[in-house]
């Protein structure tokens, strides 16, 4: 029997975001506000972010994306006040988009000119998340600390130590991210082992580019037994079979980012979301990655999924609910999310 599907309002649908880089999630408007504040007191020589990143420009690829951060955004967001302001702004943006649970990730950065060491940076982010959560209690946020592929082992171990030290304040996991053209991930095995031993969860940027999809790299990462994988683009069939066999592994898939940055061949309908979302075992979670750069909020990612892969309403709701199983926020949080996400009637 043909039943007309009722329209889903993706903005009001309660959503879970598990792969969002804090700095990459800062909106252009927020960067502009920070810039204005600094410019007014002569504290920056940088150009207006609205000129550097014109609204509507999304064609950042792997060659232009990382320099945007290293040569611009990190120089603008470079003290406690701007970290706090931008973190609160990112939190509010996700809340306004109907996100009810958010895992942000960030690479601990020392800001010596502002008197912040890496621990001070993490403390500032957590304080801002706390303040934002008091304003908007519908959204619960947790923090993931990222190891950068360019890090030394000592730096990676420091990230794990920070994550461990701030565990009771909302840090739940470590991540490995950064320019996929750089680094040899096998260097980080002791850091990942230390994180797991400390009870931290592990999520890894996986096969994001051909350069980071060698057989050796993928085998190393799979041997770490990560709880979740991000992107999962350039994956050979044998590794796909391994992933499929790992029941309960989370796959953080980021459609707009992959399409706009030309990380996949073709457009949305060619995205590997189509290949993974029905596979039994792994749990697919649509995520934004860097909503500040690609300007596609999570509600829009769900809209794109429905549009390009023709998911029925019930399939959308089932997929959204499955995401609960792979959050790092603990059992109480899962319980809270179940009570929220199951309110959405599938009628
Ligand atoms: Zn990412």
Between 4-13, 64-73, 113-122, 149-158, the lowest mean confidence (pLDDT) is in: 4-13
* CA atoms of 290 and 318, how far apart (whole Å): 25
Please compute the mean of the pLDDT values over residues 321-336 and round it to a whole number: 98
User: 294 CA distance to ligand 1 centroid (A)?
Assistant: 12
310 backbone φψ class: left, alpha, beta (φ>0; ψ -120 to 50):
left
User: 338 CA distance to ligand 1 centroid (A)?
Assistant: 26
The 10s digit of each residue's pLDDT in 66-98 is 889 988 999 999 999 999 999 999 999 999 999
| pLDDT confidence of residue 2 | 46
User: 37 CA distance to ligand 1 centroid (A)?
Assistant: 29
Q: If DSSP codes are grouped into helix, strand and coil, which group holds residue 145? A: strand
The 10s digit of each residue's pLDDT in 232-262 is 999 999 999 999 999 999 999 999 999 999 9
Whether 344 has a pLDDT exceeding 60, the answer reads no
Q: In sequence order, which residues have a C-beta less than 8 Å from that of residue 189 and are 6 or more positions away?
A: 220, 224
Give the CB-side neighbour count of residue 327, counting CA atoms within 13 A.
28
* CA atoms of 128 and 134, how far apart (whole Å): 10
Whether 346 has a pLDDT exceeding 80, the answer reads no
List Cα–Cα distances, 344 to 306, 322, 338, in angstroms: 17, 14, 10
* CA atoms of 145 and 162, how far apart (whole Å): 8
Between 8-17, 54-63, 146-155, 289-298, the lowest mean confidence (pLDDT) is in: 54-63
Q: Which residue is it, tokens 């989370």?
A: 250
**28: closest CA among 47, 58, 53?**
53
| pLDDT confidence of residue 5 | 57
Whether 3 has a pLDDT exceeding 70, the answer reads no
User: 24 CA distance to ligand 1 centroid (A)?
Assistant: 9
| pLDDT confidence of residue 71 | 87
User: 182 CA distance to ligand 1 centroid (A)?
Assistant: 15
The percent of residues in the chain predicted with pLDDT above 90, rounded, is: 94
Task: Report residue 6's pLDDT band, with 50, 70 and 90 as the boundaries.
Answer: low
Residues designated catalytic: 208
Structure tokens at 216: 């050796």
* CA atoms of 230 and 173, how far apart (whole Å): 14
* CA atoms of 339 and 342, how far apart (whole Å): 6
* CA atoms of 302 and 11, how far apart (whole Å): 9
User: 177 CA distance to ligand 1 centroid (A)?
Assistant: 6
Say if CB 239 and CB 272 are below 8 A apart. no
The fourth-level CATH superfamily of domain 15-331 is: Metal-dependent hydrolases (3.20.20.140)
| pLDDT confidence of residue 1 | 43
Whether 130 has a pLDDT exceeding 60, the answer reads yes
Q: Which residues of 4-43 are buried (b: 16+ CB within 10 A; e: fewer)?
A: eeeebebeebbbbbbbbbbbbbbbbebbbbbbeebeeeee
Strand order in the sheet with 15-21: 15-21, 99-106, 140-148, 171-177, 201-206, 228-231, 250-253, 283-286
Please compute the mean of the pLDDT values over residues 175-183 and round it to a whole number: 94
Between 2-11, 189-198, 215-224, 244-253, the lowest mean confidence (pLDDT) is in: 2-11
Helices (H), the chain: 28-40, 49-52, 62-68, 74-76, 80-96, 118-135, 153-165, 189-197, 215-223, 237-245, 255-260, 273-276, 291-294, 298-309, 313-322, 331-341
Q: What is the DSSP letter of 247?
A: T
The domain locations on the chain are 15-331
Whether 214 has a pLDDT exceeding 60, the answer reads yes
Q: If DSSP codes are grouped into helix, strand and coil, which group holds residue 252? A: strand
Whether 345 has a pLDDT exceeding 80, the answer reads no
Please compute the mean of the pLDDT values over residues 136-142 and round it to a whole number: 97
Burial of 64 per CB tally in 10 Å (0-12, 13-18, 19+): exposed
Q: Facing residues of 252 across strands?
A: 230, 285
Say if CB 209 and CB 180 are below 8 A apart. yes
Average model confidence (pLDDT) for the chain? 95
User: 68 CA distance to ligand 1 centroid (A)?
Assistant: 15
The answer to whether the pTM exceeds 0.75 is: yes
């Amino acid at each position: 029997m043909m039943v007309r599907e009722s329209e889903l309002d993706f903005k009001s649908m309660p959503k879970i975001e598990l792969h969002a880089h804090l700095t990459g999630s800062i909106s252009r408007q927020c960067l502009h506000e920070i810039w204005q504040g600094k410019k007014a007191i002569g504290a920056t020589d940088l150009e207006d972010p609205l000129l550097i990143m014109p609204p509507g420009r999304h064609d950042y690829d792997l060659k232009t994306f990382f320099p945007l951060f290293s040569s611009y955004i990190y120089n603008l967001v470079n003290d406690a006040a701007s970290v706090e302001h931008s973190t609160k702004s990112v939190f509010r943006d996700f809340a306004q988009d109907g996100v009810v649970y958010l895992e942000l990730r960030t690479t601990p950065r020392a800001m010596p000119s502002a008197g912040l060491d890496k621990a001070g940076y993490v403390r500032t982010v957590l304080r801002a998340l706390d303040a934002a959560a008091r304003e908007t209690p519908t959204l619960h946020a947790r923090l993931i600390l990222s190891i950068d592929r360019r890090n030394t082992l000592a730096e990676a171990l420091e990230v794990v130590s920070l994550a461990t030290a701030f565990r009771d304040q909302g840090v739940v996991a470590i991540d490995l991210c950064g320019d996929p053209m750089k680094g040899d991930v096998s260097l980080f095995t002791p850091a990942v082992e230390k994180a797991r031993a400390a009870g931290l969860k592990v999520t890894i940027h996986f096969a994001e580019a051909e350069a980071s999809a060698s057989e050796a790299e993928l085998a190393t990462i799979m041997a770490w037994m990560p709880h979740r994988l991000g992107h999962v683009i350039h994956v050979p069939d044998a590794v796909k079979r391994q992933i499929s066999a790992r029941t309960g592994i989370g796959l953080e898939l980021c459609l707009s980012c992959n399409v706009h940055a030309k990380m996949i061949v073709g457009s949305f309908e060619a995205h590997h979301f189509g290949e993974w979302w029905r596979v039994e075992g792994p749990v697919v979670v649509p995520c934004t990655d860097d909503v500040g750069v690609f300007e596609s909020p999570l509600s829009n990612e769900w809209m794109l999924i429905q549009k390009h892969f023709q998911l029925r309403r019930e399939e959308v709701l089932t997929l959204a609910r499955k995401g609960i199983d792979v959050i790092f926020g603990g059992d109480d949080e899962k319980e809270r999310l179940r009570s929220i996400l199951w309110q959405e009637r599938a009628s």
